[in-house]
Structure 1
Amino acid sequence: MTVLDTRTLNRATLARQLLLDRADMPVLDAVAHLCGLQAQEPQEPFVGLWSRLRAFDPAVLSALLTGRSVVRTHLMRRTVHLLAADDVLAWRARHDIDPPAPEGSDPVGEALVRRYLAAFGPAATADLRAWCGLAGLPAAVAAIREELVTFRDERGRELLDLPDAPRPDPDTPAPVRFLPAFDNAILGYHDRSRIIDDAHRGLSVAGARVVLVDGRVAATWNVKAGAVTVTPLRRFSRADRTTVAEQGRALAAFLSDSDGHRVEIAALPS
């Protein structure tokens, strides 16, 4: 069985999560493709979509919300998500009633597995459980297993995937991306080592906003006194500082209607 190393899994995740290249995709289609976005804080999905879509217009998402095409509600892991209304209708009953071993066919569960893999694969069943919070999906996985391809990660876990889903070359360049709090690109896995070092795993559940450099969590960011402040978790090269500052200025412009957009990169503690 083919072994996928951490960098290969990282690039696959970035591609599925629309973080390798910003997508030319309607906002509603992006929300559906991503299987929703974490939305404990109502404004965070706007940053998540800005980082993923070309020419993202926040007014479009606002209109989808007021028009009820997109809904902010509790669902996966009993946490607040922003989801396409059609997905809420299809998935809510499956999340409200989660028998450990459903009797008979489970078409909703099978659809959830396919949709998860399209947005997060290749992934282990433990990753699937961590994303959806459901205990009863092994039967759904078993029912569609013949449709899937399998790999192993460097820890020996079996990984499942859709056969035609993108798995880019691990040497594919990854641009700097600013992620909002609780982004599912990190929280959508039990084993998050493909995108964040184990030493920093706690940031993903503490609500830290993070910066991806070369596809991995390399800094946190916040907005203070009208400036986007970036705090590195490791030393940045000169090129890293330049690209982080450029993307930070673009984010500051997105977040602010004023003219002077500042980016401050804190010194790494000694």
Structure 2
Amino acid sequence: MPPPLLTRRALNRATLARQLLLARERAGPVRALERLLCVQAQLARPPFLALWARLDGFAPADLSRAALAREVVRAPFLRGTLQLLSARDLLRLRAALGPSLEAALRAGRGRRLETFDRPALEGAARGCLADAPCTFDALRTLVADRFPGADADVALLAVRYTLPLVQVPEAGAPWGWPGAASFADAEAWLGRPCEAAAAPQALLRRALAAVGPASVADLATFTGLRAVREALEGPGAGLRTFRDEDGRELLDLADAPRPSEDVAAPVRFLGEFDAILLAHADRRRFIDDAHRPLVVTNNGLVRACFLVDGRVEGTWRTERGRRGTALVVEPFATLDGAARLALGAEGEALLRFMEPGARVHDVRFARPNAAGRR
């Protein structure tokens, strides 16, 4: 018998359920991040928007307090990019990324890695970070002083990919971290070592819990891990197999939620780099191919967007004016009246979250933007 079919709409609802986007849930930021595995955090504000869209009663101070208490960290994690995740998960899972990050570092950079002594560089960087948190500009100066002739860009990437690091939060920063945040050694910052034997299977199971059902290519896209299938075929995997509308094999945890495709999905505003747009090699469960270039730019930026019936139907931005900050909704196509009303109410709530002191919270709808600004 062929594996059971999951339609694109069923996949949409399953992943929305894992991403806490079918209904806001009552949970603190640590628990929520551990359910999501992590939230992409190249910029400081989007993780706050991600949790606001997913949690009932979430306030920015909740996340800032957890960061200052060292329960939540902003750190290079999946694919070596900055992510927000629980301190527990960083310590549990960081070692599982080592081989894939090393392979990514070596890809196309072999000779440039020979311009410096890696063990000596790692020791020097650890020593610098042990003295006090420092920015990557300070580490660049260290590279120039201690390793003349080194390719500084590759040396700094080696530090980022090899050492477990965290960015240091700052009390009073508008979104938890300053624009040029300093890095610290994660183990020193958290007072505990990373688990040395973190298995890729454990990380992949957490990924399925967060963004599944998923193909092997989806899991590789989300985590950056290689040899995904081999890792999942080990003992204790206990996975179910499905197929999508194109016949691709999908894997999932046996007891993970897979709600009916008829379950209603509320409108939601998502910040930049949301996992909905990044977690799958095949992104059609959330966005049409024709609309994807309107959200994901040629230089790798992922714009803030909104969902209607679980799908990306446009982007949004804010504009500051004399009367306050307005939220501008830019749909791909004409929205029906119910969607406009729901987006208007959700948009006002979003503005109150982002601009609590503003006297006016204005939501404006632009003309449909199917041609797009690229």
- Give the TM-score band, short-chain normalised: over 0.9
Alignment partners' CA distance in 1, 2:49 and 2:237: 37
- CA positional deviation for 1:146: 5.5
Larger-gyration structure (1/2): 2
Paired residue for 2:12? Answer: 10
Deviations for 1:159-193, whole angstroms, at most 9, x for unmatched residues?
11111111111111110001110111220111111
Counterpart among 333, 340, 345 of residue 241 in structure 1: 340
Name segments (4+ residues, structure 1) moved above 4 Å.
none
Structure 1 letter corresponding to 2:246? R
Q: Secondary structure at the match of 1:199?
A: coil
> Does residue 231 of structure 1 match 2:231?
no
Alignment partners' CA distance in 2, 1:85 and 1:116: 17
Paired residue for 2:169? Answer: none
Any gaps of 5 or more consecutive residues in structure 1? 101-105
CA 1:66–1:146: 2 relative to 1, 3 Å: closer
Paired residue for 1:108? Answer: 199
Where do 1:101-180 residues align within 5 Å? 108-144=199-235, 147-180=238-271
Alignment partners' CA distance in 1, 2:75 and 2:235: 29
Q: Secondary structure at the match of 2:20?
A: coil
Structure 1 letter corresponding to 2:364? E
Q: Is contact 1:90–1:108 with CA below 8 Å preserved after alignment?
A: no
Q: Is contact 2:49–2:271 with CA below 8 Å preserved after alignment?
A: yes
- CA positional deviation for 1:138: 2.5
Deviations for 1:51-94, whole angstroms, at most 9, x for unmatched residues?
00000021010011112111111111121101111111122222
Deviations for 1:209-251, whole angstroms, at most 9, x for unmatched residues?
0000000000101111101111001110111111111110110
Where do 1:193-232 residues align within 5 Å? 193-202=284-293, 203-204=295-296, 205-225=300-320, 226-232=325-331
What's the RMSD between the two structures over aligned residues? 1.6
CA 1:206–1:199: 2 relative to 1, 3 Å: farther
Q: Secondary structure at the match of 1:13?
A: helix
Deviations for 1:127-146, whole angstroms, at most 9, x for unmatched residues?
00000111133222111575
Q: Secondary structure at the match of 1:3?
A: coil
Structure 2 letter corresponding to 1:223? T
**Number of equivalenced pairs:** 265
Q: Is contact 1:218–1:233 with CA below 8 Å preserved after alignment?
A: yes
CA 1:136–1:259: 2 relative to 1, 3 Å: same
Paired residue for 2:116? Answer: none
Q: Secondary structure at the match of 1:198?
A: coil
> Does residue 259 of structure 1 match 2:359?
yes
Q: Is contact 1:235–1:268 with CA below 8 Å preserved after alignment?
A: yes
Calculate percent identity across the aligned residue pairs: 44
Alignment partners' CA distance in 1, 2:280 and 2:235: 20
Q: Secondary structure at the match of 1:18?
A: coil
Any gaps of 5 or more consecutive residues in structure 2? 104-196
Q: Which moved more, 1:136-145 or 1:109-118?
A: 136-145
Q: Is contact 1:110–1:144 with CA below 8 Å preserved after alignment?
A: no
Alignment partners' CA distance in 2, 1:160 and 1:134: 16
Paired residue for 1:186? Answer: 277
Deviations for 1:111-140, whole angstroms, at most 9, x for unmatched residues?
111111111111111100000111133222
Q: Which moved more, 1:87-96 or 1:220-229?
A: 87-96
